[in-house]
Structure 1
Amino acid sequence: MIQTCPSCFRADDVRWSRLPEQMVSYVCDDPHGGAGPRTWTAVAGSRRPTETDTAGVTDELLEPLFRCVRDGDPFVEYGVVEYRLRQEHPDLFLSHVTDRGHAILGHRQATASSVRFAAALGRLADRQALLKRPGPATGAWSRNERVTYWARPPAPDGPPVTWASFCESIGRSADWTADDVAELGRRPGS
C-alpha cells in the first residue's frame, strides 16, 4: 500500500516501521516548507490516518465544516456540506482548492474534496461531533457511485437530503456549471 503524507500529500519521501498492536509509524522526510519532517501512526493496512495526521492542514476546517451540518438536518450528502462551505466560507474554501485542486477543475488524484475536506469531516466523526453513513452519490458527485452523508447526533429520522434534491430546492443544476468552474478558478480574496 502506498502511504501519502497528510501534510504534503506526497508519497515519495514517506518511510515506515512496524509498531506493536498492528500499528505502523510513518515519517515523511519532505521539508514541508521549513516545518521539517512529519510523523504519524496508523493501524496496519488502514489508509485512514489518525487524528494527529491531518491536524495542521485541516484544523481551520473543523469549525466551518461542523457548522455546515445543521442541527435538525436529516443526513445530508457530502456535496451539500461542501456547497455550504463554499458559500459561507468562500476564501477558506478557495484557499484549499487553489492549493489541492478540485474535480470541477480537472482530474487530480488528491483534491481538496477527496483529502482535506473529507479528513476534517472524518475527524469530526471520530470526535463524535458528527455522524456519517455511506449512501448513493447524486448529480455531479455520481462519478463516485457512493459518498458519505452527514448529520449531527443523535441520528436523525427521515429520508436523507441528496445533492440532487438539495439543488432542486435551491433552483440550481445538480451538475457542475460554467459558473462553478469560473468561481473555483478564481483566487481567494479576489
Structure 2
Amino acid sequence: MILTCPKCFSADDVRPPRRLPDQVLHHRCTNEKHGDHEWFTTAGPAAPPPAHHLVTDDLLEPLKKCVRDGEPFVEFGIVEHRLRGMFPDLFAAHVAAQGHSMFGSRPYTASSVRFGVALGRLEQAGELVSEYGPATGAWHYNGQVTYWAKTAAPGRRSWAEYCAENGRSPEWTDQDRLGLAHP
C-alpha cells in the first residue's frame, strides 16, 4: 500500500511509519513545500487499504466541476464554497462524518482530508493542477494552502478576493454553519 501525505497528497517524501503502542502508526512527510507534517493511523485489519480513496470517490466528479475552465488558480476555499453550493447534500454528509474547521480547530476534517485528498487524486489523474499560495480569510490559520486550476494559468484568485466580489465575509459566519451537523 502506498501512503500519501494528507497535506501535500504525495507519497514522495513520506517516511516509513513508526509503530507506537496500541497498533498506532506514526507517519511523517518531509516535503519542502510544507515542512514536516505528522499524522497517525491504526495498523491491522481496522484500517483497510486505501480507505481514503473509497471515502473520496463520490467527491471526484463534483470537485472537478468546482474548478472552472479558463480561470486562474483559485484558492481552496473557493473550490470548497462551490462544492457546498453545487452539491449541498454531498458537502453536508462529509462534514457530518468528519467535521469542519468552521466549528473549531480539529485535526483531519472533511476540508483538510477528504476534500483535499479528492483534489489530490484529480491532480494525480491529470484533471487538475495545483500550486501553493497564501491562505486568506477563514483559511489564514494555515499560512499557505493549495490553489487549483484545470490547467496552469497565470494569476491567482484568493478566497478573500472572491468573498469581496460576492459581498460575503471571508471569515466563517453563522450562515456558513447553518444546516450542517458535525461529529
Question: TM (normalized to structure 2)?
Answer: 0.75
Change (3 A) 1:15 1:139: closer
| 2:130 aligned counterpart, secondary structure | strand
After the TM superposition, which segments of 4 or more aligned residues of structure 1 sit over 6 Å from their partners? none
Query: Is there any run of 5+ residues in structure 2 with no aligned partner, and where?
Result: 7-19, 27-41
Of 29, 38, 62, which aligns to 2:45? 29
Separation in 1, partners of 2:120, 2:103? 24
1:113 maps to 111
Change (3 A) 1:163 1:13: same
1:127 maps to 125
Separation in 2, partners of 1:80, 1:179? 16
Of 21, 43, 48, which aligns to 1:38? 48
Aligned AA for 1:38? Answer: P
1:183 partnered with 2:179: yes
| 1:135 aligned counterpart, secondary structure | strand
| 2:138 aligned counterpart, secondary structure | helix
Of 160, 165, 176, which aligns to 1:164? 160
| 1:76 aligned counterpart, secondary structure | strand
What RMSD over aligned residues (CA atoms) do the two structures have, in Å?
Answer: 2.6
Task: Report the Cα offset of residue 14 of structure 1.
Answer: 5.2
| 1:150 aligned counterpart, secondary structure | strand
Of 64, 89, 92, which aligns to 2:90? 92
Query: Is there any run of 5+ residues in structure 1 with no aligned partner, and where?
Result: 17-25, 31-36, 40-51
Task: Report the Cα offset of residue 27 of structure 1.
Answer: 4.9
Separation in 2, partners of 1:141, 1:27? 32
Separation in 2, partners of 1:129, 1:27? 32
Separation in 2, partners of 1:146, 1:64? 24
Aligned AA for 1:175? Answer: E
Contact 1:167 1:173 in 2 (8 A): yes
Aligned length: 151
* Higher Cα radius of gyration: 1
Task: Report the Cα offset of residue 179 of structure 1.
Answer: 1.0
Separation in 1, partners of 2:171, 2:158? 13
Separation in 1, partners of 2:83, 2:127? 17
Quote the sequence identity (%): 49
Separation in 1, partners of 2:103, 2:135? 19
Question: TM (normalized to structure 1)?
Answer: 0.72
Separation in 2, partners of 1:58, 1:116? 6
1:142 maps to 140
Change (3 A) 1:15 1:169: closer
